[in-house]
Amino acid sequence: MNKKVLLITPVIFLLIAVLVLPAAGLAETKKMTIGTASMGGAYYPVGTGIASLINKYVPGTDVRVEVTGGAVENPRLVGGGGTDLGITNAGPGFAAYKGNKPYPKAYPILSLGYMYPSTLHMVTRQDSGIKTLKDLKGKRVGCGVAGGGTILMMKRLFPLIGMSIEDIKPSYIGYKDASLAVQDGNLDATFVLAGAPTSAIMELKMHRPIRFIEISQKTIDLFVEKYPFYTGVMIPKDFYKTPADVPAVGAGNLLIVNKDMDEELAYKITVATFGHIDEFRKVHPSAKVISLETAPNSAVPLHPGAARFYKEKGVLK
């Protein structure tokens, strides 16, 4: 009789492990995705870094990176449940939250924090003869993927100098492909909205001498006055070995989630990212400026979980 008990006991333990323990709360891995952008910009490596931080510091999570249309598409994806997190910049993010153009309605998104500014790189080959924005008339120009933040910014910028997108021959391809096309002479210039320095421009510079297309301070001031969620920036000369710092326009980048994300989960993700600033800053050169003090300064309202973290840290009242 005792021998039978000894034989049956391991079977009973196995049944308990298989049937009882999961019911007692053994957590399943929560799979999530983060929307980034095409290869060659900063969104993809930054998104990869964010995913790594969440997977490291939020037990039971498995966050994967998705290549998307970028800053304009990501609020749609996050708001519509296509991705759990996304990176966008202040312009599209605010427009999507409010339901302003180019969005047909308001999307239920909230922010986990402001990260760093993206810079609108406007680059051509040095031998192209293109020096100013007006020189782009009739030229073949890489504008990023259709529906991305680059083309939206261009559509807002060009009218301030008496131009429109109809004045150029736009090519809606990813940053890396556009860089290759400029190298090969299939495009005359490329616009890249990404954190500086960005790999697409670095790669182009490795193969061809480049020139940054000039933008006047007057145009920058007009642009920022009309669209206050954008900003004037300087591209340090050390980034691309230019003769001097390059004046440009840029937009702040945000980490967004759906407003219905569980508050505790949003809190944990915010802790995993903005609570480990030293690690966060290492994901990409542009991320070096990420700061706990500036993180709450978001064009899109903060998720309650994120707000709780910033209040605990004393950087949000």
Domain boundary among 227, 251, 275: 251
Residue 273 inside a domain? The answer is yes
Is there a single domain that holds both residue 242 and residue 124? yes
Residue 24 inside a domain? The answer is no
In the chain, how many domains are there? 2
**For residue 165, what is the DSSP state?**
G
Q: What is the span of the domain harbouring residue 181?
A: 118-251
Is there a single domain that holds both residue 180 and residue 270? no
Is there a single domain that holds both residue 246 and residue 305? no
The alpha carbon dihedral of 261, 94, 37, 239 has a sign of: negative
Residue 301: cis peptide before it, omega within 30 degrees of 0: no
**So what's the pLDDT on residue 12?**
52
Give DSSP secondary structure letters for 279-312.
HHTTS-GGGGG--TTTTT--SSPBPHHHHHHHHH
**So what's the pLDDT on residue 43?**
93
**So what's the pLDDT on residue 98?**
96
Residue 20 inside a domain? The answer is no
d(CA 252, CA 274): 16
For residues 160 and 246, the answer to whether their CB atoms sit within 8 Å is: no
CATH number at residue 156: 3.40.190.10
Is there a single domain that holds both residue 39 and residue 151? no
Predicted confidence pLDDT, tens digits, the chain (317 residues): 444 444 445 555 444 444 444 444 445 899 999 999 988 788 999 999 999 999 999 999 999 999 998 999 999 999 999 999 999 999 899 999 999 988 999 999 999 999 998 899 999 999 999 999 999 999 999 999 887 889 989 999 999 999 999 999 999 999 999 999 999 999 999 999 988 889 899 999 999 999 999 999 999 999 999 988 888 999 999 999 999 999 999 989 999 999 999 999 999 999 999 999 999 999 998 899 899 999 999 999 999 999 999 999 999 99
Determine the 3-state secondary structure of 270 from DSSP.
Answer: helix
Residue 11 inside a domain? The answer is no
E-state strands within the chain: 30-35, 61-66, 85-89, 109-125, 140-142, 169-171, 189-194, 210-212, 230-235, 246-258
Domain boundary among 251, 279, 304: 251
Contacts of 105 (CB under 8 A, 6+ apart): 99
Determine the 3-state secondary structure of 278 from DSSP.
Answer: helix
- Which of 267-302 are b and which e, b meaning 16 or more Cβ less than 10 Å from the residue's Cβ? bbbbbbbbbeeebbbebbbbbeebbbeebbbbbbeb
Is there a single domain that holds both residue 89 and residue 56? yes
Is there a single domain that holds both residue 109 and residue 185? no
